[in-house]
Amino acid sequence: MRTILLCVASFFYSTAFAQRDCGTDSYWQEQLRANPGLIARQREISIFTDKFIHSSSMQMKEQGADPSGSAMITIPVVVHILYEDPIQNISEAQVQSQIDVLNADFRSLNSDIEKVPNAFAPLVADCQLRFELAKVDPEGRATNGIVRKQTGRMFWVQDDRMKKTSLGGDDPWDSRRYLNIWVCNLFSTLLGYSTFPGAPPDKDGVVIRTDVFGINTSGSAYSKGRTTTHEIGHWLNLKHLWGDAPCGDDGVDDTPQQKTYSNGCPSFPNLSSDCNPGPNGDLFMDFMDFTDDACMQMFTQGQKQRIWAIFAEGGPRSSILTSNALGSPWIDSLQASPSVASTPNGIFVYPNPANMQLRIRDESELSGSSYMIYNSTGRLVLSGICNSHTPTINIGKLAPGIYFLKLIGPREKRGAQFIKN
C-alpha cells in the first residue's frame, strides 16, 4: 500500500523536487550502448551539423545578417495522452497552452524575455520555429492532433513502453512527418526525456510527465510549460549547457562553458564555474539548463544554428518540411478503406499512403493521358502513359516521401498528392 501511495503522489506533488530531473542523457547513453549503429549515425549528424554551422557562419559574415532571413519552420505535433485516472486526461485547452508556450519560447516572444541580463541580451535568438497541432493523421483523416488512451498503468518509467500500443502505450505517428509527444504519469521525480535526431522511428519523440505539460496553477517550480521546451530542445539536437560532463562541450560556440547544471533561480552573475572565469558567469537563464521554469528565458544564436542544421537539405529532420500533416484531409472521417486522396478537380489516387502500386480513378477517360510524378523538391522521378481508364502505376522503386502526380489529358492538366511508404 505504501508503494501505491508513493506512485500516486508522484503525479500530484512536483513542488517538492530539489532540482529539474531530465532523463535524456541517461536514456540516450543507454540507447547508444544498446545500438552500435546509432553511434555511427550520431557521428554523421555531428559532422553534418558542424558543416552547416560553418557554412551558415560564413554566410552571416558575408551578408551581415542571418541567412535564414524571414523563413519559418513549422513543426506538426501529435500529443499522445495516456491516462489511468481521468484526472490525468488533460483538456484540449491544457494541450494548447503548451503549444502556445513553445511558440513563444522558440520565437523569443515569451513575456519574461526582458529578464535576460544585458550582458547576455545580444545572444538571444528567435529560432523561427512554429509548433502546430496536426490536422491530418497518417491515414489522411482529419484530426485535432491529440490521441487519448486510457491504460491500466498507474505510472511509466524511462523504458519507452508508452510508445508501444502492444505494451499499453500508443504507437508513434510517422516520425518523419510529426513530432510525437507522449504525456503520461512518469514515476517519481522524472519530468521528461527525449530522443536526439537519428533515433529509431519507433522511439523518436518526447515524453513529458502529465502535471508539467502546459501551464497550470499548482505553484510548482515546473508549472509554466518549460519542461517541454527543454525536452524539445534535445529533440532539436541541443545538449545541456555543461555537455553532460564537468566543463563539457555542448557543441555551441556562444554558450559560456559551464561546470554543471544550475538549480532553482540563481542571481546574475552566477559565478559557479571554475571553467568559466568571465565576469558574466553561467547562462543559467537558457532553456537548456536546469533552472526553474520562471528563470528560463532564452535560446542563443548558436543554438538556433544547431537547430536549423537538422532541417537543412539532407539533415536528419528535413522531412518535416514536406509533411502534409497540416494540410487538408484526403479521407472523409466516415469513409471506409481503401484510403483515397482526392482533389477538387476530380482525381482520386489510392491507396494513400501507398507501398508498391498507386491506382488512379477519374470521372473522365484517362486512357492515353500522360502522367508525371514529382518528388518534394520538384524533380521528375517517374512518367508514362495511362493504359486504361483506371490505370495502376508501379511506384515500388520510389523512396518513401511525399509526391505530386500530374495528369495531362487532351484538354487539361490536373494533379494530386500522395505518400509513398
Question: Distance between CA atoms of 314 and 90, rounded to whole angstroms?
Answer: 37
Task: Report the length, in residues, of the chain.
Answer: 421
Q: Is 231 a catalytic residue?
A: yes
Query: Residue 410: how many CB atoms within 10 A of its CB?
Result: 8
DSSP states of 38-106 as a string?
Answer: HHHHHHHHHHHHHHHHHHHHHHHHHHSS-TTTT--EEEEEEEEEEESSGGGS--HHHHHHHHHHHHHHT
Catalytic residue among 30, 44, 62, 231: 231
Question: Distance between CA atoms of 331 and 350, rounded to whole angstroms?
Answer: 10
C-beta of residue 282 within 8 angstroms of C-beta of residue 289: yes
C-beta of residue 178 within 8 angstroms of C-beta of residue 78: yes
Question: Distance between CA atoms of 206 and 192, rounded to whole angstroms?
Answer: 7
Report CA dihedral (239, 245, 248, 251) to the nearest 10 degrees. Answer: -20
C-beta of residue 223 within 8 angstroms of C-beta of residue 212: yes
Where does 126-275 have alpha helices with state H?
226-235
User: How would you classify residue 339: left for phi > 0, otherwise alpha for psi between -120 and 50, otherwise beta?
Assistant: beta
- Catalytic amino acids? 231
